[in-house]
Amino acid sequence: MKPAADREKIRSLDRPSLEVYQFERLNQLLRNVLPLNQFYAKKLSGLTVPIEQISDFTKIPFTTKEELGGDDPHGWAVHRTFAPEKYTRFHQTSGTQGRPLILLDTPEDWQWWTDAWQYVLDAAQITSSDRCLLAFSFGPFIGFWSAFDALTDRGCLAIPGGGLSSLARLERIATAAATCLFCTPSYALRLAEVAQEHGQDLRRSTVRTIVVAGEPGGSLASVRNQIETQWDAQVLDHAGATEIGPWGFGKLSACGLYINEGEFIAEFIDPESTESVGEDQTAELVLTSLGRAGHPLLRYRTGDLVRYCKPQRQEGTQFIYLADGILGRADQMLIVRGVNVLPSAVEQIIRDFPDVHEFRLTANRTGAMDELAVEIEADANQAIQIGEQLQVKIGLRIDVKPVPAKTLPRFEGKAKRFVDLRPKEN
């Protein structure tokens, strides 16, 4: 594990110094993977290495997830640099955006993963005296695997929660006197629901910090407020992906994400035109990982929609800041009667009503028009109030249907509350 002083030094760099550091890391990566990595050797043919200026970097074509699938018979991502014998970690994407993709990591790459996670743990103020329960299945999805190893590197007691029921996890939190919880925002709320059903008051638990990932909820004020109120704990948002790595960390008890520019180069583009987009505008996030030689990604189109700003020096870092975290997925954007709508915007409004335990959004299409239906576990009066708030805050009249309690699905991992029945475009 890299010393904490090294991370602090990188966080405190001014913009020009940070960009010099990034380009040194980028050129070192290119020297390590070319020409061994056939995917990028072909994609970057004609590129002069080392890259000397930003204009050369932008000549590199974007990389998309569709390219990474290729036709490998094992289903492994095709941008692998080394022979399979060099790799020791096997993970796959969650499959929420198509066929799961298998990615492998060398021991050096896995150390990079856990080192990048240390930035998250720094932000969460987690120390070696903490006891951390990870409410995660520990299957092939990357989830909190790297967080677990980062915690043990830091000297924490890392408590796996795979294979346990929600009630058993609550009991494990109590018996182990866990101080930190790692899970999705949805599952933090689900645990609170189970605790309430069994007469437990989570505000009396030993948990003081909850690190959430996998969904936009960690940077939705209404979701965050519900979690913090029900647990009497501070929430920290995190973002990452199997194919790119752990790229974002938030602030305790505040919405938003910093991009870890010590390990990633970030760009912001219009999803349609791919032209660069300025501050405070909705854009697709493009990332280049700087330390993963076994499965490098250059100018990767994440599909995540964000709005960015450059933080002021007094914040302690000049890393780019996403004040709203991840807004949603580009392919989940709806156009309902001429209004652009993201599922996260609807969730933000619904979660302002703390008595609504679960909900589901269903998108369909009639002709050229998107339609959105909303189901909530609440009474008719609350359904009317939520419908009114949707009309006021989003500008749409949307039918909100109340359904009986406990009839909608619950989720341990990434929640699938958005059901997209719109026909797929060719």
Domains and CATH numbers, the chain: 1-330 (3.40.50.12780), 333-420 (3.30.300.30)
Percent of the chain at pLDDT > 90 equals: 67
What is d(CA 178, CA 338) in angstroms, rounded to the nearest whole number? 48
- Residue 180 phi/psi, 5° resolution? -135, 145
Q: How confident is the model at residue 236 (pLDDT cuts 50, 70, 90)?
A: very high
What is d(CA 18, CA 264) in angstroms, rounded to the nearest whole number? 11
What is d(CA 365, CA 360) in angstroms, rounded to the nearest whole number? 17
Give residue 313's pLDDT: 60
pLDDT per residue as tens digits for the range 344-354: 888 889 989 98
Give residue 30's pLDDT: 94
For range 107-126, the mean pLDDT:
97
Q: How confident is the model at residue 376 (pLDDT cuts 50, 70, 90)?
A: very high
pLDDT per residue as tens digits for the range 14-71: 999 999 999 999 999 999 999 999 999 999 988 888 888 777 898 899 999 989 987 7
Amino acid identity, residue 409? Answer: P
DSSP line for 3-70: -HHHHHHHHT--HHHHHHHHHHHHHHHHHHHTTT-HHHHHHTTT--SS--SHHHHTTSPPB-HHHHHT
pLDDT per residue as tens digits for the range 128-150: 999 999 999 898 888 899 999 99
Non-local CB neighbours of 249 within 8 Å, separated by 6+ positions: 119, 120, 122, 123, 236, 237, 238, 239, 257, 258, 260
Lowest-confidence pick of 209-213, 308-312, 400-404: 308-312
pLDDT higher than threshold 80 for residue 335: no
Buried/exposed 9-36: b ≥16 CB within 10 Å, e otherwise: ebbebeeeebeebbbebbeebbeebbee
Give kind and range of the element (H or E) at residue 180. strand 180-183
Q: Do 182 and 133 form a contact (C-beta atoms < 8 A)?
A: yes
Closest CA to 188 of 223, 153, 220: 223
